[in-house]
Structure 1
Amino acid sequence: MTTTATLTERYISATIRSLTPEVQDDVRAELEGSIADAIDARLEQGESRDDAERAVLTELGDPGILAAGYADRPLHLIGPKYYLVWWRLLKLLLIIVPICAFGGVMLGQLIDGAPVGEVIGTAVVAALGSIVHVGFWVTLVFFILERTGADTGVRWSVDQLPEPTQNGAGRADAIASVVFLLLGVGAVFWDAFIGFFPTEGAPIAILNPGLWPWGITVFFVLIAAEALLAVVVYANRRWTIGAAVVNTLLAVVFAAWSLALLVRGELLNPEFLRFVFTDNGVTDETMRILTVITGFSLDAFPIWDIVDGWLKTARARRG
């Protein structure tokens, strides 16, 4: 004949079953005593035994939480000791790794000559996969650190306090932008009249001389618009949605214009390509790969400029 276990017996059993055998008896004795005392106190107030027992056990709460307290076992995945280190590292890696995965796979697919749809699909899948892997492995490492009590060696100090920023709208940012753009203009003139590439005879320009005057004029107009945008942002002392939109349009126009010229073979000087590559026995396949890498670079910088502009706008709106 078997007897039905009481609520108290079931509660104590659920509490101690995850504890080590060495402490189970002590915890059982402690719980039996404390539960009995609490029930007796309620009985003296006129409650029935069943109601008193149920109320006492309800107040004690989930036996799993109680057992974790006895075992000094955390019930969180990443606790406060490691949370900020985990979160800062995770955010940094989630910015860097997916972008590198997306760009690297896209570049590889373009070099391999894959169709556009396959290039985009494979790159997106790679980026999403990197997000999953980064989130899982970084969290797993800190989960192990949390459970083993290991020390990451990371210590906060006042030297880590960030300097106040102006969200890319300060005088130094405006000056740097204008100087950088002027250097770009100077590089175009230097390439055309002096040349960057040494030859035994007259210098050979890298850019196609056929771009003069109208193609180069388009480039200079874009440069002037970028410089004007930098001045406007500085005058407003902040990035705005309008500035971010204009910055995006300028970057898209530059990327589309330069990429179209590259694909049509009108961006680089044919004489320069022949002197550097063809005359040295470089194959057509190698030339195709170099063209893909050049086009990828021409798109990468405008994309980063777009992202940077919107990030500065978001920071300015938060501020």
Structure 2
Amino acid sequence: MWSSCGRAGDMYTSYYEISVFQHDVLRDLAIHMSNRDDINQRKRLVMPRRAVSFPREWERNVDEPFHARVISVHTDEMREMDWFRMDCPKAEVLILNFASSEYFLPPFLENMPKLRALIIINYSAGNAVLHNMSVFSHLTNLRSLWFEKISVTHLSDSTNPLNNLRKISLVLCDMKNSLDESDVDLPGLFPQLSEFTMDHCINFNKLPLSICRLHKLNSLSITNCDSLYELPSDLGELQTLQVLRIYACPHLKRLPPGIGHLVKLKYLDISQCVGLRCLPEAIGCCRNLEKIDMRECPQIDSLPSALSFLESLRRVICDDEVFCQWKDVEKAVPGLCVQVAEECYTLDWLSQ
């Protein structure tokens, strides 16, 4: 059976708040059905969890191209000598699951000219170091990149720009202070980036200034990152930004005044930023802002008067401490609905 959790009805809900689970029997059935065709003709090539080596069936058929569009690999540590050649001219999605502290990226990435999504997930206890990063220079059509539990180092040393990359998600990653380097040129590396997400990442104190030159960025989401203490002062240069989610970053003390220049901003989430002391007066210039989520921000006990200028604001979620002040704003902004956040204490996640 399928089951889901989260606020799926909210158009601004993060996908980290929504989870879907599939029964093991259905998963096995899906794998069985995808394996009915000849291995080189399958649309999905799924490798069951193994200790080290690839399935023998895959290796016996390397003389012909694999026409799968989705390929999923599950191994332990892989070194350069552990891989064999695979020609995958139609592959659009590659999922690399592994459990080790080091991992050599498969050389056959060079033979995936149509690859659009690359998902790399490490299941070991610590973060993993990736090797053979030069293969990224061949991924000219890559649109989405997901790193989970990876050590991310020296972004400035990347080989070539990923000119078509639209989305980066870094989950449980160790940034090794790579974002603190002044020479990180994010627009040069990812000129078309529209979504940048970091969740539960460690060892970075602030975002690089160059992030403000990502002029096609629509969504910036930094969540559960307790080392973050500062946002770039030039954040307002992100003229296309519509979603700004700074959630559960306890050491962040203020939002930059430049936030008022985010003329297309529609959603601001600062919930659980327990160190945040105030909202800047300039926020009143965000005339397209539709929703503010500021639950569990205990140090914010007063609101700027400029909030009454937010003519597009329709929903605010806050705590009791500022509810009365928001009710005054509600009178000045037609259509605004202010609600107190519901307290929800549950241990249901322990059973997942």
TM-score (norm 1): 0.25
Task: Give the structure with the larger strand fraction.
Answer: 2
State the structure with more CA Rg: 1
